[in-house]
Amino acid sequence: MKASLDWLDNRTGYKKLLHETLFENVPGGARWRYAWGSTLVFCFTVQVVTGLFLWLAYSPSSQTAWESVYYIQYEMWGGWFLRGLHHFTAQAMTVLLVFHLMQVVIDGAYKAPREVNFWTGVLLLLLTLALSLTGYLLPWDQKGYWATAVATNIAAITPVIGPAVQTIVVGSADYGHHTITRFFALHAGVIPGGIIAFIVAHIYLFRRHGITPKEPRRRPDAAFWPDQVFRDAVVCLAVLAVILFFVIRHHGAPLDAPADPSEPYDARPEWYFLFLFQLLKYFPGTTEIIGAIILPTILMGVLIAMPYLGRWKLGHRFNVAFLWAMLGGVGMLTYLAMAEDAKNVEYQHGVQVAKRDAARVVELARGGIPITGAVTLLHNDSLTQGPKLFAQNCASCHRYDGHDGLGKQPKDEVSGADLKGFGSREWISGLLDPARIDTPQYWGGTHFKEDSDMVKFVKDTAEYNPAQKEELRKAVIALSAEAKLGSQAAADVRDAKLIEDGKAAMSGTLLGCTDCHKFNEVDNAGDGPDLSGYGSREWLVAFISDASHERFYGERNDRMPAFGPDKTLTEHQIGLVADWLRGDWARPAPAK
Partner 1 sequence: MDSSHVPPPTDRRSFLTKAAAVVIGGIVAVVPPLAGLMVLVDPLRRKSETSGAVKVGSLSSLPENGEPVKLPVIATRVDAWNRTPNVAIGSVYLQRTGPNQVRALNSVCPHAGCSVGFRPGQNHYFCPCHNSSFATDGRILDPKSPSPRALDELPVEIRNGNEVWVKFQNFRKGVSEKIPV
Residue 224 Cβ, how far from partner 1 at the closest point, in Å?
A: 11
List the interface residues with partner 1, window 40-69 (CB under 8 A): 42, 45-46, 49-50, 52-54, 56-57, 64, 67-68
Consecutive H or E run containing 223: strand 222-223
Query: Based on CB atoms, which residue is closest to partner 1, 253 or 498?
Result: 253
Question: Rule CB under 8 A: is residue 364 a binding residue for partner 1?
Answer: no
Among 371, 490, 525, 591, binds partner 1 (CB under 8 A): 371
Question: Rule CB under 8 A: is residue 229 a binding residue for partner 1?
Answer: yes
Query: Based on CB atoms, which residue is closest to partner 1, 54 or 458?
Result: 54
List the interface residues with partner 1, window 419-458 (CB under 8 A): none
Among 9, 24, 115, 227, binds partner 1 (CB under 8 A): 227
Among 9, 27, 41, 76, binds partner 1 (CB under 8 A): 76
Among 14, 23, 204, 230, binds partner 1 (CB under 8 A): 230
Residue 50 Cβ, how far from partner 1 at the closest point, in Å?
A: 5
Residues 510-537 as b/e (b if ≥16 CB within 10 A, e otherwise) read: ebebbebbbbeeeeeebebbbbbbbbbb
Give which of 573, 533, 568 is closest to 552, Cα–Cα: 533
Among 65, 72, 124, 431, binds partner 1 (CB under 8 A): 72
CA distances to 427, 473, 519 from 478, in Å: 13, 9, 11
C-alpha count within 13 angstroms, C-beta hemisphere, residue 396: 6
Consecutive H or E run containing 25: strand 25-26
Question: Rule CB under 8 A: is residue 36 a binding residue for partner 1?
Answer: no
Question: Rule CB under 8 A: is residue 367 a binding residue for partner 1?
Answer: yes
Residue 457 Cβ, how far from partner 1 at the closest point, in Å?
A: 50
Query: Based on CB atoms, which residue is closest to partner 1, 236 or 479?
Result: 236
List the interface residues with partner 1, window 232-261 (CB under 8 A): 233-234, 236-237, 240, 244
Q: State the Cα–Cα distance between residues 441 and 561, nearest whole angstrom.
A: 20
Task: Write the CB contacts of 47 (distance below 8 Å, at least 6 apart in sequence).
Answer: 86, 89, 90, 93, 131, 192
Question: Rule CB under 8 A: is residue 381 a binding residue for partner 1?
Answer: no
Q: State the Cα–Cα distance between residues 504 and 521, nearest whole angstrom.
A: 12
Question: Rule CB under 8 A: is residue 544 a binding residue for partner 1?
Answer: no
C-alpha count within 13 angstroms, C-beta hemisphere, residue 378: 26
Query: Based on CB atoms, which residue is closest to partner 1, 65 or 104?
Result: 65
CB 120 within 8 A of CB 202: yes
Q: State the Cα–Cα distance between residues 267 and 341, nearest whole angstrom.
A: 11
Residue 512 Cβ, how far from partner 1 at the closest point, in Å?
A: 50
Among 370, 486, 554, 565, binds partner 1 (CB under 8 A): 370
Residue 24 Cβ, how far from partner 1 at the closest point, in Å?
A: 15
Consecutive H or E run containing 222: strand 222-223
Question: Rule CB under 8 A: is residue 31 a binding residue for partner 1?
Answer: yes
CB 350 within 8 A of CB 264: yes
Contact stretch for partner 1 (CB under 8 A) within 142-150, 163-171, 224-232, 458-466: 224-232
Q: How far is CA 4 from the centre of its chain?
A: 56
Q: State the Cα–Cα distance between residues 219 and 67, nearest whole angstrom.
A: 56
Task: Write the CB contacts of 504 (distance below 8 Å, at least 6 apart in sequence).
Answer: none
Q: State the Cα–Cα distance between residues 13 and 333, nearest whole angstrom.
A: 52
Q: State the Cα–Cα distance between residues 185 and 137, nearest whole angstrom.
A: 12
Query: Based on CB atoms, which residue is closest to partner 1, 377 or 389?
Result: 377
Among 5, 7, 78, 250, binds partner 1 (CB under 8 A): 78
Residue 149 Cβ, how far from partner 1 at the closest point, in Å?
A: 25
CB 26 within 8 A of CB 222: yes
Question: Rule CB under 8 A: is residue 82 a binding residue for partner 1?
Answer: yes
β-strand pairing of 25-26 with 222-223: antiparallel
Question: Rule CB under 8 A: is residue 18 a binding residue for partner 1?
Answer: no
Residue 52 Cβ, how far from partner 1 at the closest point, in Å?
A: 7
Residue 13 Cβ, how far from partner 1 at the closest point, in Å?
A: 24
Query: Based on CB atoms, which residue is closest to partner 1, 65 or 391?
Result: 65
Contact stretch for partner 1 (CB under 8 A) within 199-207, 216-224, 379-387, 464-472: 216-224
Q: How many CB atoms lie within 10 A of CB 23?
A: 12
Contact positions toward partner 1, by CB under 8 A? 31-32, 42, 45-46, 49-50, 52-54, 56-57, 64, 67-68, 70-72, 75-79, 81-82, 85, 218-220, 225-227, 229-230, 233-234, 236-237, 240, 244, 365, 367-371, 374
